[in-house]
Structure 1
């Protein structure tokens, strides 16, 4: 039997419990019955009875945060004629049900007699979902996410919000993106509660504020009126705005924890706050902003505050100058063996959390190897330093093209590491994933094949996957073909490997028995990758043949046909992208992601027009442009991370 997270103690005994008809929960109180109905798939009045006994389960006192951990401890005993759960808190009962469900899935009605004693090693285990970069998950998708998190014993979910809330006091805000209403947040809050999860608000309170600042009447609140990216720290009017936001939106959540973010304050001191920074220093100006925002949040009902910890790299030991209710969240998404930023924290003086990432963003398929190493190593080092919480992040940079489900793999692996703290072998976790996460062996093999693409030469650069850029890139002089100091060019050989691996994945997916939406999303990713490999190979072939001056009219006409076929496939992929988007998210907000497709569509016509100019040159006896010097359609073409933050159209950032 396999479990994620793996329980602390498992003991098997001879014999079985015949639970072919499922479980009976009639002896449980109403709230526990409701929880059982949420967590267990097979319930029947004639099934094996589940009995709840409110007995304490021992948790070693040597563990940091012992009292918080003890609230989630449980004992699950599979007897011949009953299932007995010892637990004295709703979340510990939820954890027991999650383990029982995983056991029942594998046992197919014949449960081995078993004693399981279990408790987490890190008290707060959560996921942060970016809902501010265009994709607003609909209710069905959010319910799916919440059920998934509960089944792997998470207890926190944060919604990262830059501007996606509707305010009665500021109705113009959120017009440019999708949004959640008071009614919808309250529904999700109640749904989370039913699954033992705390839905925590997360509001960006300094940078990444372009969704708010690019509205009429609000641009004057910006640090820089060129980029309209960050709030002007110290400007009185912004604190009035945040008072309105907090007073109106915080009551939508039952949680008293609020993440203020305040990360990546790169332009602090470059505009409105320049004089203050010059006179008092950036540390003091930043600290004053934190204190003012924190006071406003507390006045609106927040009792526990969080903010991202990257500022501690610039302002060491800032924790000592702030209030005790502020917890820093260290974040890092790199696949490091050691994380120096964790040295900014002393858990005995100030509790802290850490935030790894699923590396699903800026990619056609997640950078799985990067995410696995980041999540595993980061959490293990944090556990050694007595970290209080883990927040696995799912970001949606540059339009949130990737499906939410492409972070599920990272969520599940993160559940194992954040629950147990210490290392489990990668082989054991992979085997458990095959049993509990993937639909079948074919889907698992396809996932591994698609993941391996991101390890090819020049494909992955930091938090970006070059193949994603190549999908939208210019056909003859695109960044993915010519490269620069930051982004190396992708070779023809690498493009060929991308196509071959994607086609192998398509073959495996074709043999899978799964009919899930996740399967459809995997198919879409594999087709996009196969397309990108084919496109890149063709681009290299055309460029090389011209450079060798080995072009004739038939070859040009054949290439034009190839490009038209590519364009037809590209449109098909665009349409499937829109269909899958609408399945998991509201339509508003998709325009930023779809625009990348529509903008890239012009590349095919430009390539054909230029090729035809060379065909005509052959007819006229003129020399070919072997170096493509007359091809200028690439000039001014940008997409994704080469977009222009200041043009108020591109979904980009002040950096590239």
Structure 2
């Protein structure tokens, strides 16, 4: 029998005779021995089974008044593996660890919930274990958006329900309260040490390893923008773009030879790491743009950029070890300097990231395997720089990561949810990415192609949508980029256009070619900019999505907020489409029509901005909101100025 759609992630093995046994009204708990009893106590078996029955409660004739639930220790099972069996003897839960029993309970709860209202439950035997021992999510809190604690608690519960066991909150800027430097970052609302300790305990109780995270070489722009730290930069006066580009990029990378750089990193980690029980820390060290071309050029010319990078990295490894932690780090620099890979210490695990579905994971996975380097694969949700996601890129990227990582022996799988370009995506926009990654990393071949259970889980559990259409809506909301027919990389044209602001067609297309050169400098493919925007089809698309949204039956505690977030997401996409229409002067033949369209855009963006700010503050802290909405404010000002010009002309 095919595994029911209500089980997610889909298990390794599901068998059923097709027979059934009367549903339970309550369970009589029995542990097979002292160890099983200890596991049952640790995981709260009694309370969780009772909660599952209450959540699926229905009064129906034929329901057995009390059914035995047996907890067994089955040595030899995978440490995270389990067995769930339901038949005439009742419920059997077997595992070799408390963590395995935790996962058995999650599956049992889904089995009970999925047969809500039925007088009998199907006999079944579920034997399950993960393909990846580490299955993680990295949530960006370093770019503008830092969730409130209640949001993080709820987020951990969502992840736990999908058997995710690793969580990082990506940190750059002042998203953690380094009290020694707090006066340099007024107005920020960072995570505190006490909050991380509380979150660590909460996550650990749900078998999630909360791993500290802090970038410490590249991505240091917010620190290097301060006069107190600017001279620590590799390029204190900015990184020159390649000729003939006539500008500089702001300082982003620390000078690895300046002793004050590693002293700052030491201060950061000494404040951050004691708040975590994890044995790992992610030091990141990705994208150190301009490394070896500024203050450290002489040394780089002498020993090579790769060796320069590794010498600095070894100092950070030592800081991690001083706190009893092993190191995780991104692998992009290693890929460009493979000569240093063999010099990595054994306690370093490389995170191989790639967020573009057409780019295969295989070459770098193969290189890491051949060099005996422990590594994880790290795809993305594709939600950032998009407003509502890029669904098909997400699905392809995650599936490739899971299959290739499994082939080449990756020890873990982490899906990243970044906050580039204002962090405009509402959290639920990333739900499909989180859920698909959870399934792909639990049992890869079982979950990557069978989408109905994935859609069921997103709709019924994450969105709590009784109509069942919520997942399909989110997936379709992430497909508007196909109507742009743009060559933009790692973003949508609409998102970029709204960040760019008002322009004319010739200027926009000229600047897009410059941007291609900048992206090439930063590691992009450098594909020439192309655009074949389908505006009328976008109008039809927006109408269809709004009709689907009206049909949702959201029943969760955040139902009203969730609906409003999706409404405003569509409004922002409509704003971007309207901005494109104006820049390309589509069906705007004269000044009066131009004025009327700009007035409509201005009114729409004022509404969307006000709603964006309101919704932001429901789930997130205030710090970062002004920066996130700066592009909206700029665009509104441009609308006002252009309207004044046109009105003066007329």
Match of 2:473 among 440, 443, 446: 446
CA RMSD of aligned residues (A): 2.7
Cα distance in 1 between the residues matched to 2:430 and 2:476: 17
1:420-462 C-alpha deviation (Å, 9 max, x unpaired)? 2336463x22x11232211234434433432221112434611
The residue correspondences of 1:72-471 to structure 2 (distance < 5 A) are 72-80=80-88, 82-110=90-118, 111-162=121-172, 163-172=174-183, 174-175=185-186, 177-226=188-237, 227-302=250-325, 304-336=326-358, 338-339=360-361, 340-346=363-369, 349-422=372-445, 424=447, 426=449, 428-429=450-451, 431-438=452-459, 439=465, 440-459=467-486, 461-471=488-498
Cα distance in 1 between the residues matched to 2:420 and 2:47: 37
The Cα shift of 1:370 comes to 0.5
Paired position in structure 2 for 1:612: 647
Paired position in structure 2 for 1:529: 573
Paired position in structure 2 for 1:576: 611
1:120-155 C-alpha deviation (Å, 9 max, x unpaired)? 111111011111001001112111221111111111
Match of 2:633 among 598, 601, 605: 598
Contact 1:359 1:367 in 2 (8 A): yes
The Cα shift of 1:479 comes to 7.9
Cα distance in 2 between the residues matched to 1:479 and 1:38: 64
Residues 286 and 6 of structure 1: CA distance in aligned 2, closer, same or farther (over 3 Å): same
Paired position in structure 1 for 2:14: 10
Residues 424 and 181 of structure 1: CA distance in aligned 2, closer, same or farther (over 3 Å): closer
The Cα shift of 1:613 comes to 3.7
Paired position in structure 2 for 1:50: 69
Paired position in structure 2 for 1:626: none
Cα distance in 2 between the residues matched to 1:479 and 1:81: 74
State the TM-score, normalizing by the size of structure 1: 0.84
Cα distance in 1 between the residues matched to 2:624 and 2:394: 27
Cα distance in 2 between the residues matched to 1:4 and 1:479: 50
Contact 1:134 1:178 in 2 (8 A): no
Contact 1:135 1:178 in 2 (8 A): no
Cα distance in 2 between the residues matched to 1:261 and 1:38: 40
Cα distance in 2 between the residues matched to 1:205 and 1:408: 29
Paired position in structure 2 for 1:652: none
Paired position in structure 2 for 1:567: 602
Unaligned runs of at least 5 residues, structure 1: 59-69, 546-550, 616-656
Residues 8 and 408 of structure 1: CA distance in aligned 2, closer, same or farther (over 3 Å): same
Total equivalences in the alignment: 591
1:466-520 C-alpha deviation (Å, 9 max, x unpaired)? 11133455445168964633374655x5222222201210011112112523333
Cα distance in 1 between the residues matched to 2:424 and 2:176: 21
Cα distance in 2 between the residues matched to 1:39 and 1:177: 43
SS state at 2:629 partner: helix
Contact 2:426 2:565 in 1 (8 A): yes
State the TM-score, normalizing by the size of structure 2: 0.85
The Cα shift of 1:577 comes to 0.7
Paired position in structure 2 for 1:636: none
SS state at 1:234 partner: coil
Residues 50 and 577 of structure 1: CA distance in aligned 2, closer, same or farther (over 3 Å): farther
Cα distance in 1 between the residues matched to 2:165 and 2:51: 18
Cα distance in 1 between the residues matched to 2:123 and 2:87: 6
Cα distance in 2 between the residues matched to 1:480 and 1:189: 50
Moved more, 8-17 or 251-260: 8-17
Residues 482 and 224 of structure 1: CA distance in aligned 2, closer, same or farther (over 3 Å): closer
SS state at 2:42 partner: helix
Cα distance in 2 between the residues matched to 1:38 and 1:160: 35
Moved more, 22-31 or 70-79: 22-31
Cα distance in 2 between the residues matched to 1:445 and 1:153: 22
Contact 1:268 1:282 in 2 (8 A): yes
Match of 2:545 among 479, 502, 505: 505
The Cα shift of 1:175 comes to 3.7
Unaligned runs of at least 5 residues, structure 2: 32-36, 58-64, 238-249, 460-464, 517-527
Cα distance in 2 between the residues matched to 1:400 and 1:178: 16
Contact 1:446 1:504 in 2 (8 A): no
Paired position in structure 1 for 2:60: none
The Cα shift of 1:35 comes to 9.4
Cα distance in 1 between the residues matched to 2:50 and 2:184: 38
Residues 269 and 141 of structure 1: CA distance in aligned 2, closer, same or farther (over 3 Å): same
Contact 2:49 2:109 in 1 (8 A): no
Cα distance in 2 between the residues matched to 1:22 and 1:210: 57
Contact 2:503 2:583 in 1 (8 A): yes
Contact 1:137 1:584 in 2 (8 A): yes
SS state at 1:464 partner: coil
Cα distance in 1 between the residues matched to 2:90 and 2:365: 46
